[in-house]
C-alpha cells in the first residue's frame, strides 16, 4: 500500500521502485488501463523512438475475422493525454514475447482484454523540467 500523497494507489512500492530504477530505453511490460493511466503520471516515455508504446499485433486468424481490440483505443487515448502522438507499435506475436522477456520489469496486472498486453519504453525528463 502506497501512503504518499499524489501517488495513485494502484502503484505498489515495488512498482514505484522499478519505475525509479529504469533507465532511458528500458522497457516495462504491463496491462490494464487504470495502471497505465497511473504510470503515465510518473514515467516519461521515449520521444526519440518511432513508438514508445507497443502491443502484440493480431495473429492472422484474428486479422481475417477483423477482430476488434477496443482496449487499444483506450491505450491510445491515455497515451495522447500524456503527450504521445505516435500510434501504438504493433509487434508480431513471437517478437512481442521475445521483447517482453527482455523488459526491465513486467507487471502482472490481471488484464483480461484480448491483446491487452502493452510495452512502454522509458524516456528522459528534459533538464529544463527538472527542479
24 among known catalytic residues? yes
β-strand partners of 29: 106, 119
The residue annotated as part of the active site, out of 24, 48, 73, 80, is 24
The residue annotated as part of the active site, out of 17, 26, 46, 75, is 46
97 among known catalytic residues? yes
CA distance to 37, 98, 103, 105, per residue, from 17 (Å) = 17, 24, 15, 10
**Interatomic CA distance for residues 52 and 45, integer angstroms:** 6
The residue annotated as part of the active site, out of 48, 73, 80, 97, is 97
Grid coordinates of 40: 503515465
The residue among 4, 52, 2, 1 whose CA lies nearest residue 24 is: 52
**Interatomic CA distance for residues 69 and 47, integer angstroms:** 25
46 among known catalytic residues? yes
3-state DSSP assignment of residue 18: helix
**Residues annotated as part of the active site:** 24, 46, 97
Amino acid at each position: 500500500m502506497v501512503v504518499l500523497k499524489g501517488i495513485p494507489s494502484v502503484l505498489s512500492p515495488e512498482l514505484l521502485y522499478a519505475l525509479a530504477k529504469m533507465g532511458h530505453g528500458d522497457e516495462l511490460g504491463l496491462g490494464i488501463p487504470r495502471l497505465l493511466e497511473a504510470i503515465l503520471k510518473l514515467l516519461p516515455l521515449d520521444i526519440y523512438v518511432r513508438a514508445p508504446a507497443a502491443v502484440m499485433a493480431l495473429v492472422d486468424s484474428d486479422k481475417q475475422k477483423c477482430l476488434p481490440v477496443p482496449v487499444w483505443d483506450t491505450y491510445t487515448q491515455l497515451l495522447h493525454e500524456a503527450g504521445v502522438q505516435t500510434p501504438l507499435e504493433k509487434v508480431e506475436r513471437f517478437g512481442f514475447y521475445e521483447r517482453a522477456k527482455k523488459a526491465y520489469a513486467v507487471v502482472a496486472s490481471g488484464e483480461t482484454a484480448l491483446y491487452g498486453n502493452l510495452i512502454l519504453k522509458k524516456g528522459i525528463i528534459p533538464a529544463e523540467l527538472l527542479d
